Chain A
Amino acid sequence: MKRRGLFLLQLGFTLLVCAFLVVPVILSMLAGLTVNYFIGVESGLTLRWVMEVWNGYRETIFLSIGLSLACLAVTLVLGVPTAYVLAKRQNALTRTLEEMLVLPVAVPGLATALALIVTYGSLSGFRTSWAFILVGHVLFTLPFMVRSVLAVLSAIDLKTLEEGAASLGAGFWPRFRDIVLPNCRQGILAGSLMVVTLSMGEFNMTWLLHTPFTKTLPVGLADAYASLRLEVGSAYTLVFFLMIMPLLLALQAFAKPRPAKFVAEETE
């Protein structure tokens, strides 16, 4: 039947696209484990390249992990209160603020990095520390944290819940601690995952912001691709994949919505 043929055609197409996306990843991972890429898998599998990466580049791994955790901490402190304010007030001012927050995502990382360098490049202490890179990462990931928390806060009737708590005597900080924060937990978790993942993979800004002493994983990767054996570059990529895969899978798990429940009246 025609419909069956159409289905198979689309399925075939989709499988091809999947292959296009997945095969290079597998190739890259494999290349990092083969003794000699030019010969191929027949040359045998080895962990030698991975060990070389570990020995030569492990600071980059630690720096990337440290940066993404620091980025998470900063975006939580900056982003959660911001999301709260945006949830409480929707007027022209807050809408403008939200638009502005997204600018570092809309504008190419190159531009943001250049802007930071021309403004703060002369402060050599700042310029050569990892804090400089952290600033770039926070600018880029903050809107994601804010959006994530804001989405959750907008879905609940924040105003009435806070009034309920206030009617029971709770002042602002107890309300924030007991009502607001617990109820945006989902948003905070999803936002946190997003922030960590994006920070681990950020390159455009980091390449310009880094110094030889503050190299992150992606920066190290670029170095390795340019100067080292293909196998080492692949092994390095393999390490990166292994670190980022769990994060991406967790992100996907988070994207599934939960159905709303309906409870019928009991005949009492």
Chain B
Amino acid sequence: MTDAGTPLAIALTNCAKTFADGTRALEPLDLAIHAGETVVFLGPSGCGKTTTLRIIAGLEEPDAGGKVLFDGIDVTHLPIEQRNVGMVFQSYALFPNMTVAGNIGYGLKIRKVAETQVKARVSEMLAMMQITMLADRRIDQLSGGQRQRVALARAIAVRPRALLLDEPLTALDAKLRDMLRLEIDSLLRSLGITAIYVTHDQAEAMALGDRIVVMEHGRVAQIGKPREIYQRPATRFVAEFIGTMNRLTGAVKNGVFTCKAGSLAWPEAPANTTEILFRPEDIRVAEGRETTGLLGKVTAAFFLGDRTRLFVDVGEAQPLVIESTARRDFSHGDPVGLAIDPRGLLVL
């Protein structure tokens, strides 16, 4: 389905942004986005992800010295009207004075496409987003999910070379978000378009991104595939921002890590380790008569159907979080033995 132009490769070199009131929104950033890939900018509010998106879009200009390249061509000083990127805004920015069909066809009208072709393309978009019955509705007659679909249809109708999405699902409730996330994912895949997606929701990022750029305070903390980011976080911030992270403090001697809860054999332990981090799925409760070096006490247990989420006190500041698939009941105060998979251990 050739619904988009040839995918775009985007490069940012030395892009920083300081606003008129002095706020430093972005530190100098270098980034290469490959044609056809979906890159997700992830981070808490104020981290610079939206600023970066707007620089790529052409709504902001980077500070002097920064460059934005589309397929190697310098577009830094080109305004958004001439960049041919499709953009979906957090508040959708649908035009209240036009119908749904009018909104979707607007970009084509601006490009002076013939009326019949505009109609055909608008029908195509309406069908693709499954909103054909909404064609003549006004914007204030649409629900949030419907507006989202219209915004997507409008952005794609002009066959943009890249699609930029600024937190498109943030304004929706959880169930709708899950459903639309799937739709957006399949849409991006079928279009084969270069997509840049901004969000603060790490589940969204992990689901949609080919690569994730984790940002904090205007800087890039880590770039990588979802699995890398999750299993090999480069900094403490990334480790704690994505998913849940458990930690144990102690010391290493002769390949054994000793902490309040006991000891753990770990031959590859780096010498000066004072703290180890690991995910809830890399620790399990000892079964039957199994003995392990670590002991703790259950403080809370939540049966979630397919697993039990346990909070176990091991003498640290925070209890450990364990996703247990053991078929047994846990109650407050139960002593449990703990086994950790050393492959999941991290030191930062």
Contact = CB atoms under 8 A, between A and B. Distances in A.
Contacts of A167: 57, 80, 85-87, 155, 164
Interface stretch (B93-101, B232-240, B321-329): B93-101
A265 B143 contact: yes
B110 A161 contact: no
Contact of B140 (A164, A166, A179, A263): A263
Contacts of B155: 167-168
B303 to A, nearest CB: 29
Nearest to A266: B143
A169 B110 contact: yes
Contacts of B97: 178-179, 182-183, 185
A169 B95 contact: no
A77 B222 CA distance: 53
B81 A169 contact: yes
A156 B139 CA distance: 13
B70 interface: no
A164 B89 contact: yes
A264 B172 CA distance: 12
Question: What does DSSP make chain B's interface, helix, strand, loop or mixed?
Answer: mixed
B93 A161 contact: yes
A160 B166 CA distance: 12
Contacts of B82: 169
A165 B81 CA distance: 8
A161 B95 contact: yes
Contact of A163 (B80, B96, B110, B173): B80
A174 interface: yes
Contact of A164 (B87, B141, B158, B173): B87
Contact of B158 (A160, A168, A179): A168
A160 B143 contact: no
B183 to A, nearest CB: 11
A140 to B, nearest CB: 31
B145 A265 contact: yes
Contacts of A165: 95, 106
A157 interface: yes
Interface residues of A, number: 25
A166 to B, nearest CB: 5
A265 B176 contact: yes
Contacts of A25: none
A265 B173 CA distance: 10
Contacts of A183: 95-97
Interface string B78-122: 011110111101010111110000000011001100000000000
A166 B93 contact: no
Given A163-B80, A179-B95, A168 B107 contact: yes
A171 interface: yes
A261 interface: yes
A160 B106 contact: no
A31 to B, nearest CB: 49
Interface string B247-272: 00000000000000000000000000
Contacts of B164: 167
B203 interface: no
Contacts of A178: 95, 97, 106
Contacts of B89: 160, 163-164
A105 interface: no
Nearest to B82: A169
A174 B141 contact: no
Nearest to B91: A160
Given A164-B93, A178-B106, 15 more contacts: A160-B91, A161-B95, A163-B80, A165-B95, A167-B86, A168-B154, A169-B81, A169-B111, A170-B110, A174-B110, A179-B95, A183-B97, A185-B97, A261-B140, A263-B142
12 contacts: A161-B95, A163-B87, A164-B95, A167-B85, A167-B87, A168-B107, A168-B154, A169-B81, A179-B95, A263-B143, A265-B143, A265-B145
The 8 closest A-B pairs by CB, nearest first: A164-B93, A168-B107, A182-B97, A167-B87, A160-B93, A265-B143, A169-B110, A263-B143
